[in-house]
A = this chain, B = another copy of it.
Amino acid sequence: MAAQTQYEELVRQLSAFSVVKRDLGRITPADCSPGSAAVLALLGRHGDMRMSNLSELLAVDMSVTSRHVAHLAERGWIDRSPDPADKRSRILRLTPEGGAVLAELSRRSVALLAERLRDWSDDEIGQLIRLMTRLRASFGDGRTTPHRQPPPQPPPPPPLHETTRTPA
């Protein structure tokens, strides 16, 4: 059980943390909002999936996911094919064009982080990732989510879809 001061400090850090996200969100390519970028990244990382699955990974309502996906589909960056097993569902898939956008996106964010985290050691970054992952699990789990994931496991970068990953 932590001290109250610690909790209040954590609240403060969380409250002010948006600045990091905002900064990172500025590098998205034209016509690709940070929200859409997150969709591309998840599709590149986990491969094809359904709306509901994506929605869960994004931890937002499906209506939100739907809009981001529609935006990307309009630009030809992802594909929505009907699920033969359930005609209500649609399978989302990154297109080659979407893969290119994702690659550029990835390049830019890695470049930004490499510059910002110049002074960080691998171990420190690893610790931060681990703790953030765990915090998300502590929050996202016990509530709205009808689905539990084995939490403290930053999913290893899974296989990318064909033309997706930045080769660099």
Contact = CB atoms under 8 A, between A and B. Distances in A.
Contact of A131 (B116, B127, B134): B127
Number of copies of this chain in the oligomer?
Answer: 2
A24 to B, nearest CB: 6
A30 B110 contact: no
A139 B7 contact: no
Nearest to A166: B4
A135 B128 contact: yes
Q: Is the interface of A mostly helix, strand, loop or mixed?
A: helix
29 contacts: A2-B114, A2-B121, A2-B125, A3-B122, A7-B114, A7-B117, A7-B125, A10-B128, A10-B129, A15-B37, A16-B38, A16-B58, A17-B21, A18-B21, A19-B139, A20-B136, A20-B139, A20-B140, A26-B163, A100-B159, A101-B160, A104-B160, A107-B158, A111-B153, A116-B139, A120-B134, A120-B138, A127-B127, A128-B135
